[in-house]
Chain A
Amino acid sequence: MNEFIITEKFTKCYGKVSAVQDLDLTVYAGEIFGFLGPNGAGKTTTIRVMTTLTKPTSGRVQIKGFDVVKDADKVKKLIGVVQQHLSLDRDLTVRENMEFHARLHHIGSSERKRRINELLTYVELNDFADRMVDTLSGGMKKRAAIVCSLIHEPEVLFLDEPTVGLDAQARRRLWDLVRRLNADGTTIFLTTHYIEEAEALCGRVGIMHHGQLIALDTPLELRKKLGAVTVETLVDNKETRYQYFADRAAATRYVQSLPPEAKTIIIRDSNLEDVFVEQTGQKVGDN
């Protein structure tokens, strides 16, 4: 596997707050990498540095061998970015926004037309191409932002919390779109604070907490390390206790060994939420 994004001891401070601290990370070409963490974990800051909008305080960040500070020009040609907040020009239509992005990337006029039409079809926005951005639904706005970021055929696409605010249906469509893009050869770096999203989409997941990477592996390996099966017991009718076991058999043996007054027992597969809670003592939704 080719290393595509490499960070070494990457740190970003805002005043005294270190938004990201000593991050060592490698993302490989062709994968869907997920950055999972609660609000304020440092996910957006990491993307802003990787996409040249902000400079690291210390350490190194490289994309395809190019330094994001020194070779920012080269990096900019490789990346497509969909920011956390809509960043389209709302005084323009979808097509005009796409044209603007194409012009920013020096794509000539006939090539521009071809790609715009091709991409509109790819994300099924043809019928909405000439609508003003503000008149679109949340899911369509996201897809419009994605086509704009794809116009120069970037090798890596950054998606910062792509499904926040979308309904379940729009979210699934977007997941399919991301999978399709990845299958067509685009490396994906996405951030999310949704456990299901990381589990459903990502080949590997890095878990961020207070600017630090606290776990990094495939979702399956992360769950295995913790124990693939979780047992939840209610203690004294008020506190839930979580225990982790390698397999169902071990979990069942444990449950059978419990005193008869133990209550409300759930045996289920472990998930990334359990991994996060065990590592931090907090839930992903907490701040």
Chain B
Amino acid sequence: MLEALNDVYTILWVDLRFLRRHWRSTVATSLVNPLLYLVAFGYGLGRGISFGDVGYLEFVIPGIIALSAMSTSFSGAGSKLNVDRLFYKSFDECLMSPVSLYSIVVGKAAIGVVRGLISSFAILAIGVYLSPVLNVTPLFLFSLFVSCCVFALLGVLIGLVINSHADMSTFSNLVMLPMTFLSGTFFSLSALPVAAKAVLYALPLTHSSESLRAAALAQPFPWLSLLALFGFGLVFFVGCMMALKRNSL
């Protein structure tokens, strides 16, 4: 167990080195999208809209935190793995070493979690400053951490199954981008027809934004959504292991 953790750190170590060299640009680029959303939707569009007694800004900030957790964790884990595997070929070095496949998957996901947390905390700091109503509770932080893990694992999974750089951006545009807008990040799902709800609850980001929002606004916490996130994480992890096994055939 201790060795497995040590191995996870070894895999993470390389990517942390890179992050340490390039942290300014890395963090800055990951903040651009969420900040744009915050300005365009929170201030531009959302002025005057409110849900019950919650203003739109309070409503939308947890959603934006969820989506920045998603996109940074996903691309933080996925793009580096993509480069390591297809371009540098340094991923083979991990596979030929005594480090177990489990540790490799967790280690490769870990950099996504680190980067996801960094940019979510940056957005969170701005959000709390703009809207002091937000509660940063342990449950909020836990949901944020779980969300980062889920999307980092998804990044690793996609990084393992794709065979070119272009595939990565195809996946981002076809799956990640629609998810960004539809998963209850910018609007409430409660008013939607049942069929639409059924589809949207099949997306992990929906559960992230619901959990984060409930925790931040001190609403009843959707434990099922948290459970669903664990389920997604497990499925992605198993998918990663299967992809690694398949790649060695």
Residue positions of A touching B, CB distance < 8 A: 51-55, 73, 76-77, 79, 81, 83, 85-92, 96, 100-101, 103-106, 148
Q: For A76, A85, A91, A96, which residue has the most chain B Cβ atoms within 10 angstroms?
A: A91
Q: Tell me the minimal C-beta distance from A66 to chain B in angstroms.
A: 13
Q: Which 3 A-B pairs have the closest CB atoms?
A: A104-B97, A87-B89, A103-B10
A96 and B21 CA atoms in complex are apart in Å by 13
Stretch at the interface among B12-20, B31-39, B65-73: B12-20
- Interface status of B3 (Cβ within 8 A of chain A): yes
> Which one, B7, B17, B96, contacts A52 given CB within 8 A?
B96
Chain B contact residues: helix, strand, loop or mixed: helix
- CB of B90 within 8 A of CB of A104, answer no
Write out the residue numbers on chain B whose beta carbons fall within 8 Å of the beta carbon of A90: 88
| A53 touches which of B88, B92, B98 (Cβ 8 Å) | B92
The dominant DSSP class at the A interface is loop
CB distance from A82 to the nearest CB of B (A): 10
Query: CB distance A86 to B93 under 8 Å?
Result: no
A76-B97 in contact (CB<8A): yes
Check A106 against B98 for contact (C-beta < 8 Å): yes
For B7, what are the chain A residues with a Cβ–Cβ distance below 8 Å? 104
Chain B positions 120-166 with a Cβ under 8 Å from a chain A Cβ:
none
Instruction: For the complex, give the distance between the alpha carbons of A85 and B91 in Å.
Output: 12
B248 touches A103 (CB 8 A): no
B residues with a Cβ closer than 8 A to A are: 3, 6-7, 10, 13-14, 17-18, 21, 84, 88-90, 92-99, 248-249
Known contacts A53-B248, A83-B89, A106-B6, A89 near B96 by CB under 8 Å? no
Q: A100-B14, A106-B3 are in contact. Are A89 and B98 (CB under 8 A)?
A: no
A53 contacts B14, C-beta separation under 8 Å: no
Q: By the criterion CB–CB under 8 Å, are B248 and A104 in contact?
A: no
Question: How many Å lie between the Cα of A269 and that of B51 in the bound state?
Answer: 91
Contacting pair B249 A100 (CB below 8 A): no
Can you sample 5 A-B contacts with CB below 8 Å?
A76-B96, A76-B98, A85-B89, A91-B18, A96-B14
Distance in Å: Cβ of B167 to nearest Cβ of chain A: 20
Q: How far is the CA of A79 from the CA of B95 in the complex (A)?
A: 12
Q: Report the bound CA distance from A106 to B98 in whole Å.
A: 9
Question: Which among B6, B10, B99 has the greatest number of chain A C-beta atoms within 10 A?
Answer: B10
A104-B93, A104-B94 known; A89-B99 Cβ under 8 A: no
Which of A54, A76, A85 lies in contact with B249, CB distance below 8 A?
A: A54
**Among the interface residues B18, B21, B248, B249, which one has the most CB atoms of the partner chain A within 10 A?**
B248
